[in-house]
Amino acid sequence: MFRQFCQGVLFIALAGCVAEAQEVPSPPASPNKGETKCGVEGAPPEFHTGTHGGIIFADPPVVHQVCTSNMPPLDKNIIVLACTNPANRVMLLPNPCLYAEVDPYARLMCHEMAHLNGWKHEA
C-alpha cells in the first residue's frame, strides 16, 4: 500500500503540517514539545472545499518515514505529520484515534475508521 503511495510522486509534505519537536509522536492538538506549523493557513479559501480521495491512516512514525522518503534530509527536530499524493488523490495522515480524547473531529474520524475496520454498533 505504501509503495504505491511513494512511487514516482513528489510529496507535498512540507506544505502540510510539520512539528518542530524532540520526539515522535507529538500530537498536533498538544504540541508541548515544540511549535506546530500547518500550511493550511496559506491555502486560498477556494481550496478549502469538499473533495474526494483516499486516506491512509498510520502511526506518526510511519507517516513521517513515508512522507519523507522522497525528500531531501530534514533537520532532526522536524517531524512531518501528514502529506498528500495529488496524482493518486491519497492523503497519508496520523491515526486519529491517537487524538480522539482531545479533539472531537479526531474522535469522529476514529469512530468511522473503526467501522471501516469491521466494528459494528451493538444492537
| Predicted confidence (pLDDT) per residue in 6-18, tens digit | 543 333 333 334 4
Angle at 94 between CA 69 and CA 76, to 5 degrees: 45
Domains: count for the chain: 1
Statement: the pTM of the whole predicted model exceeds 0.85: no
Does 49 fall in a domain?
Answer: yes
What mean pLDDT is predicted for residues 100-120?
95
Asked if residue 71 belongs to a domain, the reply is yes
Please state which of the ranges 34-43, 54-63, 82-91 shows the lowest mean pLDDT.
34-43
Question: Domain range for residue 62?
Answer: 2-95
- Cα–Cα distance for residue pair 86/104, rounded to 1 Å: 27
Tell me how far apart the alpha carbons of residues 94 and 55 are, in angstroms, rounded to a whole number.
10
* Pairwise pLDDT comparison (54 vs 26), residue with the higher score: 54
> Per the domain annotation, does 113 fall within a domain?
no
Residues 6+ apart with CB under 8 A from 17: 28, 36, 37, 38, 39, 40, 80, 81, 82
The Cα 42–Cα 45 span in angstroms is 9
Res. 25: pLDDT tops 80: no
Q: Do the domain assignments include residue 86?
A: yes
Vertex 33 angle, CA 27 and 36, to 5°: 60
Residues with Cβ < 8 Å from 10, sequence gap 6 or more? Answer: 70
